[in-house]
Structure 1
Amino acid sequence: MERFCFLRDASGLLDNLPSKMLLFLYLVLLALGLHCTPPNISEGKVTTCHFPQQNTTLYKMSSINADFAFNLYRRFTVETPDRNIFFSPVSISAALVMLSTGACSNTQTQILESLGFNLTDTPMAEIQQGFQHLICSLNFPKKELELQMGNALFIGKQLKPLPKFLDDVKSLYETEVFSTNFSNVSAAQQEINSHVEKQTKGKVVNLIQDLKSNTMMVLVNYIHFKAQWANPFDPSKTEEGSSFLVDKTTTVHVPMMHQMERYYHLVDTDLNCTVLQMDYSKNALALFVLPKEGRMNWVEGAMSSKTLKKWNRLLKKGWIDVFVPKFSISATYDLGDILLKMGIQDAFADNAKFPELTEDNSLKLSKAAHKAVLHIGEKGTEVVAVPEVRFPDQAEITLLRPIIQLDKSFLLLILDKNTRSILFLGKVVDPTKV
């Protein structure tokens, strides 16, 4: 029984290891609780993931990161009410923790506290180890699921980043640092956008639009995600031109995918919403949350790590009729104003302290940008071969079955099963708005 709080799926490693003997040795060491480094094949080179001896930090981080995700989501609802919302919480968290490694004093404390960390309860070394494990686990190659998360810092060419910082952010956070001539605004924008476009294989384009010549440091983070459904939809059953209720007076028409299948689902009577879990074929799943009419604000305000844990306990698998719109969603955010309101103030101010990043005392963060893009279709996020369609037997067909129809505003979460991380979080208000 797969649920969204599952531990690492060891079978997924087999597809990416050069030999079964290495896999066997790694699993034996892991079972014994020893520190080990499984092979990671990427671009012909062998890299390593350093897994902590215990998973306590990762469990703690999953809750902290989830609560940060929902706090940030609520900020977006204030900034862009009644509009689609879509972002990658784990990508933003990792980028900010990476930035904090170059900071000290209030600059560092404000960043970590805005993420939900208390340095008394969780020392900086433990946070770093946890995020190193998290990033390496997410970026570990998996057959039938492609996920690449990364960050990049672009720093004014007059500033010299310290060698130790360059080494640390590369090894811990897989982050690259670029020396950039911001006085040539158009060239700097082109450099940043080209890097992000290349790293996301063309999925995220034109991230930066309005650089200024006095820019000193730009933080960008990206996440590229490609996967197929465990139970793909039959395209012949997709109904074109189905109605989707945007608000009380506005209706749009979208392709509506249909499937009768066994899925985990529940009705949360406390929050007045229906929850549908749809698994991807490897290590990831989507949660669709459909509030009853007029209850969206209530559900948004109640979302937390505890809510996810409650749903995990209550989700039950059974045959249901599912109707899901086929759509693409994207959103671009200049995170500066929101991060300021969340308490990250010194990093953007003249009194910013980044002594571990450069010896220049004038360095401060000028811009933090984020863009997320996702396509929901019959096969998943990309076109793949459709496996043989399964049908219930005649006895099950005669039974009345619940119907879940996503024909009005709903929340969408995509989670990684291994790390319990929220890869994407959003709200679909109008699926025709890309």
Structure 2
Amino acid sequence: MDSPLLVVLLLCIASPGRTEDASLHPETSGEHPEHTPMIPLQPSTRTELYSTLEAPSTNPSPTDPAAPPGIGPTADLPEDLYPQTTPTTPPTSTTTTTSETSVPSHTPAPSREPHSEEAQGGGSSEEEVGGECSGAALSPDTTRALGGAMMKFGMEVLETLESKSKKRNILLSPLSVVLGLSQLSLGAVNETEAMLRSRLHVSELPCHHHLFKRLRQHLSQSALQVATRVYLKKGFKVKEGFMKDSLQFYGSKPALLEGVDEVNHWVEEATKGRIKDFLSSLPENVVLLLLNAVHFKGLWQTRFDPRFTSSDVFYLDQQSSVSVDMMQEPKYPLSLFMDDKLEVQVARFPFKGNMSLVVVLPFSGEVNVSALARSLDAEQLYSHFPKERPIQVSMPKLNVEYSQDLTDTLTSMGMGELFSSPNLERISSDPLSVSSVHHKSSLELKEEGAEAAAATSIAISRSMARFDVNKPFFFTLLDDESHVPVFLGIVRNPRAETLSKEDKSSKMFMKEKTPK
């Protein structure tokens, strides 16, 4: 055979092997991961991280594709720590159990349906076994059912917080809290899993983990960004099935848990600086931290003219009031209706990009959270909104921050098992319990639009011609299509945080002036 032809044939035969090798070891190919992580990790080899994972199961399937753009670059991790490459030929393997053995560094872990018997080494999880959920569609009905479940859970949390909290304003992201607890349910079995599904109101929703995956993809097309991460203590034995399901459905890639500063920096970056100093410290003996962050920045479809913003009265109750900066527009296009049963006015302030701020303003008196929790239904709200018409509107400028450990709140809601003796066998063979569920959020309303952020870790006169938001009100930030409640809250005093800071400054001043 001609020598040049022989060389060409040899190169063609050898080429696939070199390509596969380069994909498995990007550090040797000169290529880089698609996204560079914003949080650098300490040097670690593939073998080190896999030594903390329990053995994969048999019956491998193709690896799930990487999370879509919009989930947040801070959710990414270098390929050499958690490779996503699928081998060209399935590896031969013998039957394995969930005993704590290391994963071979040369064989990427396969993707699987959550909680399948093969993936978990025993037990199964309702409709999500097998391929029944592989085509789960993000239809209006399914997403609104999921949005309704999240609204119901969020209102229950808000009602519990309102009954116990001494803070004037409450700000909560049901999306963030539910994402964390739903991801936790991936690792739960038996009574613990059933309790979580029941309390999250997803028991009747088939394939809800798949719905969350598609919901994240849908929300990423709006002005909303969601980032997730799983932090692991070095040496902690975590089951591969839980890690793969966390990545596939919630976009959570693993990172080594080095300290609280790293966690706080990740949250600050993921929320564009809105959430700072998220955690003061890490819980004692923490081995795993489920973390997510939500950031929204939207522009009103109709902006408020800053020239009309002026100091005006906000009535705290029938006896007292405060002066606040009030955004005002004489002819604001507003969709507004009255609910005589709840004795409230409901208005919708749309943003550009399929999000709306819905404000519920009582005719008189306090915000009745219990009544709203029983009756508030996003789908019914949207069906009642009439065509927009010009209305004189006044809305307070807001800059509200809220931080709360949700341990007592969730315990009061019947989820105390999480903090005492949960069954989290799908995470690890070690006995585990939830140390804390911490939530922090912020919201700013101004003339051009709104910016809001939240992070969760698991260690509104009767007159129809005017709409003056000048007394305590309830609000929710909703995705217009899925009706997912991204934020819920109650504002009783727009100046609560400002007054607190002024009082503190005054006391410090007086202390300095007091003679010794």
Please show how residues 5-24 of structure 1 align to structure 2 within 5 Å: none
Amino acid paired to 2:373: M
Amino acid paired to 1:84: N
Which residue is equivalent to 1:33? none
Which residue is equivalent to 2:434? 365
1:149-194 C-alpha deviation (Å, 9 max, x unpaired): 233343433412223322221121112333325xxxxxx2212211
The yes-or-no answer on 1:428 pairing with 2:491 is yes
Whole-Å separation in 2 of the counterparts to 1:266 and 1:307: 15
Deviation (angstroms), 1:81: 4.7
Please show how residues 25-424 of structure 1 align to structure 2 within 5 Å: 41=69, 52=137, 54-81=139-166, 83-118=168-203, 121-123=204-206, 126-140=207-221, 142=222, 145=223, 147-180=224-257, 188-239=259-310, 241-259=311-329, 260-297=331-368, 300-304=370-374, 307-316=377-386, 317-349=388-420, 351-359=421-429, 361-381=430-450, 402-424=465-487
Q: Contact 1:67 / 1:305 at 8 angstroms: preserved in 2?
A: no
| Matched positions, count | 360
Which residue is equivalent to 1:5? none
> Which structure would you say has the larger Rg?
2
Q: Contact 1:97 / 1:111 at 8 angstroms: preserved in 2?
A: yes
Q: 1:367 to 1:217 in 2, by over 3 A?
A: farther
Secondary structure class of the residue paired with 1:247: coil
TM-score with structure 2 setting the length: 0.65
Which residue is equivalent to 1:4? none
Deviation (angstroms), 1:54: 4.5
1:21-54 C-alpha deviation (Å, 9 max, x unpaired): xxxxxxxxxxxxxxxx9x9555899xxx986175
Q: 1:300 to 1:257 in 2, by over 3 A?
A: farther
Superposed structure 1 runs of 4+ greater than 6 Å apart: none
Deviation (angstroms), 1:61: 1.4
Whole-Å separation in 2 of the counterparts to 1:131 and 1:231: 31
- Structure richer in strand, relative to its length: 1
Q: 1:56 to 1:311 in 2, by over 3 A?
A: closer
Q: Contact 1:220 / 1:370 at 8 angstroms: preserved in 2?
A: no
Which residue is equivalent to 1:394? none
TM-score with structure 1 setting the length: 0.76
Amino acid paired to 1:243: V
Deviation (angstroms), 1:73: 1.0
Secondary structure class of the residue paired with 2:272: coil
Amino acid paired to 2:193: Q
Deviation (angstroms), 1:74: 0.4
Deviation (angstroms), 1:432: 1.2
Q: 1:86 to 1:54 in 2, by over 3 A?
A: closer
RMSD: 2.7
Give structure 2 stretches of 5+ with no counterpart.
1-64, 77-133, 452-462, 498-516
Q: 1:209 to 1:59 in 2, by over 3 A?
A: same
Secondary structure class of the residue paired with 1:408: coil
Mean alpha-carbon deviation: is it higher for 85-94 or for 313-322? 313-322
Secondary structure class of the residue paired with 1:214: coil
Whole-Å separation in 2 of the counterparts to 1:51 and 1:377: 39
Q: Contact 1:93 / 1:115 at 8 angstroms: preserved in 2?
A: yes
Q: Contact 1:110 / 1:345 at 8 angstroms: preserved in 2?
A: no
Q: 1:194 to 1:50 in 2, by over 3 A?
A: farther
Q: Contact 1:272 / 1:295 at 8 angstroms: preserved in 2?
A: no
Q: Contact 2:176 / 2:294 at 8 angstroms: preserved in 1?
A: yes
Q: 1:50 to 1:151 in 2, by over 3 A?
A: farther
Which residue is equivalent to 1:184? none
1:302-328 C-alpha deviation (Å, 9 max, x unpaired): 335754333323222222100000111
Secondary structure class of the residue paired with 2:496: coil
1:354-394 C-alpha deviation (Å, 9 max, x unpaired): 222223x2222112111111110000026xxxxxxxxxxxx
Mean alpha-carbon deviation: is it higher for 367-376 or for 79-88? 79-88
Q: Contact 1:218 / 1:368 at 8 angstroms: preserved in 2?
A: no
Task: Specify which structure has the bigger relative contact order, considering alpha-carbon pairs within 8 angstroms and separated by 6 or more residues.
Answer: 1
Amino acid paired to 1:151: T
Which residue is equivalent to 1:15? none
Amino-acid identity (%): 25
Q: Contact 1:223 / 1:372 at 8 angstroms: preserved in 2?
A: no
Whole-Å separation in 2 of the counterparts to 1:148 and 1:251: 36
Whole-Å separation in 2 of the counterparts to 1:92 and 1:305: 22
Deviation (angstroms), 1:341: 1.7
Q: Contact 1:264 / 1:318 at 8 angstroms: preserved in 2?
A: yes
Give structure 1 stretches of 5+ with no counterpart.
1-36, 182-187, 383-399
Secondary structure class of the residue paired with 2:266: helix
Deviation (angstroms), 1:347: 2.4
Q: Contact 1:416 / 1:423 at 8 angstroms: preserved in 2?
A: yes
Secondary structure class of the residue paired with 2:414: coil
Whole-Å separation in 1 of the counterparts to 2:136 and 2:353: 20
Whole-Å separation in 2 of the counterparts to 1:41 and 1:196: 18
